[in-house]
C-alpha cells in the first residue's frame, strides 16, 4: 500500500501541547479588541519576515509516488487522487497573508496549487453537506464550515514563494485558508471529508475556538 512508504519521524510534543492548552485556559495573548478585515493586521498580531515552524512534533515524509488525497463523505463523486492526477487539475496562484494564533502574521505569501472551488466542483458536495474536516498524514484534524472552504482565496498549495512547500511547512501539499487563524490550514493533507455534522479537531477540543476569525480575535473557546 502507498502508506507503507510514508515515514513519520519525531515524537509528539506533549509539553508544548500542554502549554498551548494552558494558554487557552488562561486567555494568553488576548487583547479584547476586534477589527474589520479591511485592517490588514488583526488585533494582537505582530509582523514577521520569517515563516515560523509549528507542528505537533511529527513531520511526515511523503514521497509523491505514495501520496494520495481522498475527498469523500457527503459528496456525489468521491475521489482518491494520486500526485500526478492532482497536478493535472486546473492550477491557481494566489498571494495572501498568514495569521497564526500564536500572534505572528506574515504578509504577501505567494501560493500555487488547486483552488478549493475547483475541488468542490470535482466532487459535487451533497445539499446537506455543511462542514469540511481535514485529515492529515500526521493524524492531525481540523474543521471549517463548507462556506469558508468555498472561498475564492482558499486552495490546496504545493508551492510557496515559487518553491515547493518544504516538509516542515506541510509539503508536498497543505491547505491555505487566509481568512482564519492558520491552524485551520492543515499541513500534510491526506483526506478532505465533507460532513453534515461539525467535527471539532485537535486544537478545537483543547480549548481553541471552533471557528478562528483573527479579526474577531477568536483564539480560544468562548466557554473557557
Q: Would you list the DSSP string of 141-197?
A: EEEEEHHHHTSTT-EEEEEETTEEPPGGGTTT-EEE-TTS-GGGS-SSEEEEEEESS
CB 69 within 8 A of CB 137: no
Who has greater pLDDT, 6 or 184? 184
Cell numbers standing for residue 42: 488583526
Quick check: 3 pLDDT over 80? no
Cα–Cα distance list, 95 to 43, 89, 111, 150 (Å): 21, 19, 6, 17
| Residue 1's pLDDT band (cuts 50, 70, 90) | very low
Mean pLDDT, residues 156-171: 97
Mean pLDDT of the chain: 95
Cell numbers standing for residue 75: 459528496
State residue 219's pLDDT score: 98
State residue 88's pLDDT score: 98
Mean pLDDT, residues 178-194: 98
Interatomic CA distance for residues 169 and 138, integer angstroms: 13
Quick check: 224 pLDDT over 70? no
Distant-in-sequence, close-in-space partners of 150: CB < 8 Å, separation ≥ 6: 116, 117, 120
State residue 140's pLDDT score: 96
Interatomic CA distance for residues 6 and 118, integer angstroms: 27
Mean pLDDT, residues 117-126: 98
Interatomic CA distance for residues 80 and 77, integer angstroms: 10
Domains of the chain plus CATH, in order, are 2-216 (3.90.420.10)
CA atoms within 13 A on the CB side of 167: 14
CB atoms near residue 196 (< 10 Å) = 11
Burial 44-57 (b: 16+ CB within 10 A, else e): bbeeeeebeebbbe
DSSP 47: E
Backbone angles phi, psi at 183, to 5 degrees: -65, -15
Cell numbers standing for residue 80: 482518491
CB 179 within 8 A of CB 147: no
Interatomic CA distance for residues 135 and 142, integer angstroms: 7
Mean pLDDT, residues 122-133: 98
Residues 16-75 pLDDT 10s: 899 999 999 999 999 999 999 999 999 999 999 999 998 888 899 999 999 999 999 999
Who has greater pLDDT, 15 or 104? 104
| Residue 2's pLDDT band (cuts 50, 70, 90) | low
* % of the chain at pLDDT higher than 70: 97
Interatomic CA distance for residues 62 and 138, integer angstroms: 11
Amino acid at each position: 500500500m502507498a502508506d507503507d512508504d510514508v515515514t513519520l519521524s519525531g515524537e509528539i510534543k506533549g509539553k508544548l501541547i500542554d502549554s498551548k492548552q494552558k494558554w487557552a485556559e488562561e486567555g494568553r495573548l488576548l487583547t479584547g479588541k476586534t477589527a474589520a478585515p479591511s485592517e490588514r493586521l488583526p488585533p494582537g498580531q505582530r509582523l514577521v519576515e520569517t515563516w515560523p515552524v509549528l507542528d505537533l512534533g511529527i513531520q511526515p515524509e511523503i514521497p509523491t509516488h505514495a501520496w494520495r488525497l481522498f475527498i469523500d463523505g457527503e459528496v456525489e463523486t468521491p475521489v482518491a487522487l494520486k500526485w500526478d492526477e492532482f497536478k493535472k487539475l486546473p492550477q491557481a496562484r494566489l498571494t495572501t497573508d498568514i495569521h497564526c494564533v500564536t500572534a505572528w502574521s506574515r504578509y504577501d505569501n505567494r501560493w500555487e496549487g488547486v483552488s478549493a472551488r475547483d475541488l468542490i466542483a470535482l466532487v459535487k458536495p451533497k445539499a446537506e453537506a455543511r462542514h469540511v474536516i481535514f485529515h492529515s498524514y500526521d493524524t492531525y484534524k481540523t474543521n471549517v464550515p463548507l462556506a469558508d472552504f468555498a472561498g475564492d482565496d482558499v486552495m490546496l498549495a504545493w508551492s510557496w514563494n515559487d518553491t515547493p512547500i518544504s516538509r516542515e511547512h506541510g509539503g508536498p501539499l497543505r491547505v491555505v485558508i487566509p481568512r482564519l487563524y492558520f491552524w485551520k490550514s492543515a499541513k500534510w493533507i491526506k483526506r478532505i471529508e465533507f460532513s453534515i455534522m461539525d467535527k471539532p479537531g485537535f486544537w478545537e477540543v483543547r480549548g481553541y475556538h471552533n471557528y478562528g476569525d483573527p479579526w474577531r480575535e477568536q483564539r480560544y473557546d468562548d466557554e473557557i
